[in-house]
Structure 1
């Protein structure tokens, strides 16, 4: 009897409309009024959608990333993406791709993150992004719209992406905050991944305890805003709410070196495992494993496959907390 081969993973398309060239370094102590002598610097192509695509690829998937790029910074960014052999489509823009700065203070272990605004996009530029997404969506696949919106882009941009995905039979995943998140939820999406702070801001309150977290996540599912809500809680773990109920999972014990990219890694593993046919509980475990693996890396480095799979196996022995 012939062995049954696993079905190929469903396609994953990511969009990064406001990418950032991530610059990271170290200094002994951050203080004003003095030159701060720094250690070696590192450059990475950052931004939500690109980070998601990079981690999907590291974990064995084959994503397609769409991103904007412009100016000298954009050229450097493009070369870094190409060096990773990440399948990508680039939307050229007149403005220069932004930079983000991460400084690790070696004397205290504190991390300082400076997130720049990004260039203003013209209407033809952001409409070109919409058109490219529309042309690249594959029925049955996933569309991940992640990261901040740069100046010039309408607040309902991710809602428009969600509409395109639904019209073409794909599942839309949104990782955003503020008005962009609110507009996407009003349109309705397959999955959102807010932090505790982002979800609290959406409801105009502070989520002060576990019950408030669970109630807020469940509300988005109940009112049809999202089929799934993955609420990330840092060291306190994560919550997954869906029509099937609510699950809570603690993070494994790891040494935290940097939190940069942990949320993107979480989302990448979640979507990839779903695309590979795993159920939502198994995908949730993988997501927590990827986020936890990323915090063990330095500066703007993302997770590595071996670490994710090791933590996945560890989490498979851990029971979910049911709500």
Structure 2
């Protein structure tokens, strides 16, 4: 089983505008609502690949109830911790005349120590040997910075594998717990290593920094430039074809879904990199916080160029 952990989920609201003019009334051409938050996006992308997952999350208020119902309608089973306060709503404004995105993110409800303990109890209830746990996103207000590290230690002590997509101090603390896999983007990797990653050689060096913690798989996503994926001493680079990007929101989460899906399905590093980049690219071709259909992912996968580095 694959379990996604969603500590600060969101209702994503996307407005596409023919032209965004600050300080004036603007009329949207398109309004779209999506179940969001990095972990929930991973579950949605896995579903498109034909793989079910359990979405474990923390929800609050009317927005939280909307997300619960949305997952139910999608056919994604969930188990939730309910908290006081309101699950956040994020707003993305697309200026179609320039192709530029403006994203406004809420902080989300503040956690208490009780929230942490209830969450840990939920994890203990569900964890089982051989499962894969995907933990993704920034920590919510009030959550301790070592929370991901604690979750990784917990699930891996029970024989499961943990995959992480986070940043900053939570990522640094979590790496010390040696998750099975991590997926930083270039900026997150730069923050981790403490310098710019201006060349392919720099990126390869950054994968070594993560691997030295005892992490088994490192994937540094690079947007339209694809990704570098490393396991042991082997590093591959996967490059997507040129595509029309409609929204980058959620593309990294679809990438993570493809990576986990491939690795947990027994595919090798080359195929894992291929499917991860194909999933991320397919998601970027969708409006809003979309995930690409399996058919589109398969077509893109045949066009991904994967090379040894």
Coarse TM-score class (shorter-chain normalised)? over 0.9
The within-5 A match list for 1:165-314 is 165-221=155-211, 223-314=212-303
Separation in 2, partners of 1:171, 1:68: 21
* Structure 1 equivalent of residue 61 of structure 2: 71
Kindly indicate whether the alpha-carbon contact (under 8 Å) linking 2:197 and 2:203 is maintained by their aligned counterparts in 1.
Answer: yes
Separation in 2, partners of 1:296, 1:305: 13
CA deviation map 1:76-113 (0-9, x unaligned): 12121111010111111111000111111122121221
**RMSD between aligned residues:** 1.3
CA deviation map 1:167-196 (0-9, x unaligned): 101111000000110010011111000000
Separation in 1, partners of 2:308, 2:30: 45
Kindly indicate whether the alpha-carbon contact (under 8 Å) linking 2:16 and 2:95 is maintained by their aligned counterparts in 1.
Answer: yes
In structure 2, the gaps of 5 or more residues are none
CA deviation map 1:49-81 (0-9, x unaligned): 111011111101011110111111111121211
Q: Does 1:321 align with 2:307?
A: yes
Separation in 2, partners of 1:270, 1:133: 22
CA deviation map 1:201-260 (0-9, x unaligned): 112211112111110112211x13421110001111100111141111111222111111
Separation in 1, partners of 2:166, 2:73: 27
Kindly indicate whether the alpha-carbon contact (under 8 Å) linking 2:237 and 2:273 is maintained by their aligned counterparts in 1.
Answer: no
Separation in 2, partners of 1:176, 1:73: 23
Q: Which has the higher mean CA deviation after the structures are superposed, 102-111 or 12-21?
A: 102-111
Give SS of 2:5's match.
strand
Q: CA deviation at 1:277?
A: 2.0
Separation in 2, partners of 1:250, 1:301: 21
Give SS of 1:314's match.
coil
Kindly indicate whether the alpha-carbon contact (under 8 Å) linking 1:104 and 1:299 is maintained by their aligned counterparts in 2.
Answer: no
Match 1:151 to one of 137, 141, 149: 141
Q: Which has the higher mean CA deviation after the structures are superposed, 237-246 or 152-161?
A: 237-246
Separation in 1, partners of 2:214, 2:194: 16
Kindly indicate whether the alpha-carbon contact (under 8 Å) linking 1:24 and 1:101 is maintained by their aligned counterparts in 2.
Answer: yes
In structure 1, the gaps of 5 or more residues are 1-10
Kindly indicate whether the alpha-carbon contact (under 8 Å) linking 1:12 and 1:142 is maintained by their aligned counterparts in 2.
Answer: yes
Separation in 2, partners of 1:261, 1:300: 5
How high is the TM-score relative to the length of structure 1? 0.92
Q: Does 1:36 align with 2:26?
A: yes
How high is the TM-score relative to the length of structure 2? 0.97
Cα 1:209/1:161, change in 2 over 3 Å: same
Separation in 2, partners of 1:154, 1:214: 31
Q: CA deviation at 1:314?
A: 2.7
Q: CA deviation at 1:165?
A: 1.6
Separation in 2, partners of 1:40, 1:287: 29
Separation in 2, partners of 1:293, 1:40: 20
* Structure 2 equivalent of residue 92 of structure 1: 82
Separation in 2, partners of 1:293, 1:87: 24
Q: Does 1:109 align with 2:99?
A: yes
Kindly indicate whether the alpha-carbon contact (under 8 Å) linking 2:236 and 2:273 is maintained by their aligned counterparts in 1.
Answer: no
Kindly indicate whether the alpha-carbon contact (under 8 Å) linking 2:216 and 2:232 is maintained by their aligned counterparts in 1.
Answer: yes
